[in-house]
Chains A and B, each alone.
Chain A
Amino acid sequence: AQSVTQLDSHVSVSEGTPVLLRCNYSSSYSPSLFWYVQHPNKGLQLLLKYTSAATLVKGINGFEAEFKKSETSFHLTKPSAHMSDAAEYFCVVSGVTGYSTLTFGKGTMLLVSP
């Protein structure tokens, strides 16, 4: 079984300050992990994914995430927030093989103030 916990339902930052969105996972195997972003009234877009090739993963729009097996974490960071980053972010875990499906966290809403 696999599960994902996003530790904050809402995160508020000021424009230009760092962003940290926290995610812990549970998986019986070495997982694949994803971060998706959803802007208001839009579908989900892939930000980045971890596939065991490198523990620090770079994504689009300046986001990156670090896979830490010892802490079972996959936190999303960005050095400097932009107003356009305001959206809901989902941490997602995938099983290893077979007909495994994605398990979504409940989401973190990122609010960016001027």
Chain B
Amino acid sequence: NAGVTQTPKFRVLKTGQSMTLLCAQDMNHEYMYWYRQDPGMGLRLIHYSVGEGTTAKGEVPDGYNVSRLKKQNFLLGLESAAPSQTSVYFCASSLTSGGPNEQFFGPGTRLTVL
């Protein structure tokens, strides 16, 4: 099992450009999540999905969109990138939500917006 994979690993954008980050999991998990990690801030939830075809906003959703067309994939889009979106982005998945359900994390995507 590959677990949770993310593509790309690194990306540099200019302000105003768009891009899509892809997350894939092979554990048949229902729940998937997108976080951003900034120095001294821990991880903050951007959007999440409780199943194929569903998405919901997290703590910091502005400037991002997501889609979950297939159970195994969760896409994060930036329509018009801003320097404030420079961050490391992590995708995670879990079998269910709440309680002791562990989230499994991908290796991250380092995004720089100039």
Which residues does A use to contact B, with CB under 8 Å?
Answer: 9, 32, 34, 36, 41-46, 49-51, 90, 94-102, 104-107
Q: Contacts A43-B90, A46-B102 known; A101 to B42 CB distance under 8 Å?
A: no
Which residues does B use to contact A, with CB under 8 Å?
Answer: 4, 33, 40-45, 48, 50, 56, 58, 90, 92, 97-103, 105-108
Chain B residue at minimum C-beta to C-beta distance from A45: B105
- The answer, among B4, B44, B48, B99, for a CB contact under 8 Å with A51, is B99
Chain A residue at minimum C-beta to C-beta distance from B42: A104
- On whether the beta carbons of A104 and B90 are closer than 8 Å, the reply is no
Q: What's the dominant secondary structure at chain A's contact region?
A: loop
Tally the A-B contacts, defined by beta carbons under 8 Å: 65
Q: Contacts A42-B107, A43-B90 known; A98 to B98 CB distance under 8 Å?
A: yes
- On whether the beta carbons of B43 and A90 are closer than 8 Å, the reply is yes
- The answer, among B42, B92, B98, B103, for a CB contact under 8 Å with A95, is B98
